Amino acid sequence: MKVLLSGILGLVLLSSPSVTFAQRSAAEYFEEGNTKAGTGDFTGALQAYTTVISMNPEHAPSYFNRGLAKANLKDYRGAVLDYDKAIELNAREPLYYQSRGVSKSMQDDFRAAIEDYTKAIELNPEDPKAYYNRGVSYAKLKSHRSALTDLDKALSINPDELAALYARGNCKQDLQEYAGSLADFTRVIELSPKRTGAYAGRGMAKLELGDYQGAAADFTKAIELSPNDAEFYASRGFAKSKVGDFTGAVIDFDKTIQLNPEHFQAYYGRGFAKNKLNDQRGAIEDLNRSIELKNSYVGDPKKITYSGKLNKETLDGLRDQVKENIRMDNLTGERAEAYYIRGISKSKVGEVKAAIQDLTTAVELNPTYSNAYFSRAMIRSASGDQMGAVLDFTSAIKLRSDYPEAYYLRGILKNSLGEVNDGCLDLSKAGELGYQQAYKVISSYCN
């Protein structure tokens, strides 16, 4: 989902209020700036507005229009400074807040952008663009329910707004509301039959709803409109596999790999199809590639590159501050609990391999033993096996979705491995679940 500046720019430059200047030339420079901006000469427009400001430093529209020119030149920080000044001079103009929100969004500062869009809505509750922009920012922050509410509001004001329909279709997919997503993308296609992404989005919805033939047809249309997009061939290949057309699937995965040789999902899909076609050697070769390509969780853990914002020393310090909640569970017939406690004891006396083996036995005997996965992850991380630790924390979270320490530790591990966005989302979840230390790490390593 993209936030567009052009709609706001056109609105302001074509409808700016008339102003009386002490000098005629200031008004002329202002109109010159509008004319240049309207023809795409944003550098020239910026200079013209700067001249107006030098003559009349209290003229809010010139600061605002100069901010728009800077935004179109991708100088979003400079644009925000001009919007700040325009708002200081005139705090009642909703477009000033909305445009500042757009520039903040373009810098990925979505929380601050939401504050600006909210102010714009307070000043003008009937502007669908403000609801749309705020909805997009909520979606970027994974607050999909809030995003959906805003996009619904935008569409209640302007039911056939393409950008809002498209964004809501994506939002509904994130919420796994596939039938609603399908309806939105269908409406986009009715209004704009050459919107490639709408066919792809509807195809994904049909895949999830089990309409594999329909999905393949939509991906075919997307390919006709955009024949060099590897993702469309991959998605059609998966749809074909679902209906047993494994030969057709191989052809699509071949094309995917031709366009993107590192598309590991395509190797997986082609390996599956080859397996079904009894080409077992080809299947094994493809599945090997699907496992190896871009996989952080294979290889020698001692050769890990700490490529995120957290280095090894900081990671170790943060991990070692976490206190494990080790409790005595009732001993079951399989004795998994005894292996668990013995593993903890062995780790404390430095018998790392033996400790990991005991905890492995515990989870083999009781595959739902979330604490054993958590403790094994702690030991693996301390011994340098960060990849194995991430997998164990993931297992603990799958078994217990309200495990804040597991989210926290997985977050700092992912951050240290270079998966900064995913790591920070885990830290956010840990904080949401009440683990306050997460916010200290977020403030230091997620901004």
Q: What is the domain range of residue 267? A: 228-295
Residue 333 located in a structural domain: yes
Answer yes or no: do 67 and 168 share one domain: yes
List the one residue out of 176, 113, 103 whose CA is nearest residue 140.
113
Residue 210 located in a structural domain: no
Whether residue 336 contacts residue 362, with contact meaning beta carbons closer than 8 Å, is answered with yes
Mean pLDDT in the chain?
A: 89
Q: How far apart are CA 345 and CA 37, in angstroms?
A: 71
Q: Which of 141, 173, 190 represents a domain boundary (last residue)?
A: 190
- pLDDT tens by residue, 101-155: 999 999 899 999 999 999 999 999 999 999 999 999 999 998 999 999 999 999 9
- pLDDT tens by residue, 389-423: 999 999 999 999 999 999 999 999 999 888 888 89
pLDDT of 5 above 80? no
Residue 117 located in a structural domain: yes
CATH of the domain at 236: 1.25.40.10
pLDDT at 304: 66
Q: Which of 264, 295, 326 represents a domain boundary (last residue)?
A: 295
Residue 197 located in a structural domain: no
Look at the chain and report how many structural domains it folds into: 3
DSSP codes of every residue in 239-294: HHHHTT-HHHHHHHHHHHHHH-TT-HHHHHHHHHHHHHTT-HHHHHHHHHHHHHTT
Answer yes or no: do 178 and 30 share one domain: yes
pLDDT category, 428, cuts 50, 70, 90? confident
pLDDT at 303: 62
Whether residue 276 contacts residue 250, with contact meaning beta carbons closer than 8 Å, is answered with no
Tokens 């057709």 -> residue:
248
pLDDT at 447: 64
Answer yes or no: do 179 and 280 share one domain: no
**Rounded to an integer, what is the distance from CA 154 to the centroid of its chain?**
22
Q: Which of 250, 265, 295 represents a domain boundary (last residue)?
A: 295
Lowest average pLDDT, out of 199-213, 255-269, 301-315, 343-357, goes to 301-315
Residue 198 located in a structural domain: no
Residue 61 located in a structural domain: yes
Rounded to a whole number, what is the largest CA-CA distance in the chain?
93
Answer yes or no: do 247 and 347 share one domain: no
Within 8 A by CB and 6+ apart from 220, the residues are 236
Q: How far apart are CA 310 and CA 306, in angstroms?
A: 7
Answer yes or no: do 268 and 310 share one domain: no
- pLDDT tens by residue, 295-312: 767 766 666 667 777 888
Answer yes or no: do 282 and 331 share one domain: no
Residue 43 located in a structural domain: yes
- pLDDT tens by residue, 335-361: 888 899 899 899 889 999 999 999 999
Answer yes or no: do 17 and 133 share one domain: yes
pLDDT category, 225, cuts 50, 70, 90? very high
Answer yes or no: do 268 and 321 share one domain: no
Q: How far apart are CA 279 and CA 413, in angstroms?
A: 39
Tokens 């949401």 -> residue:
432
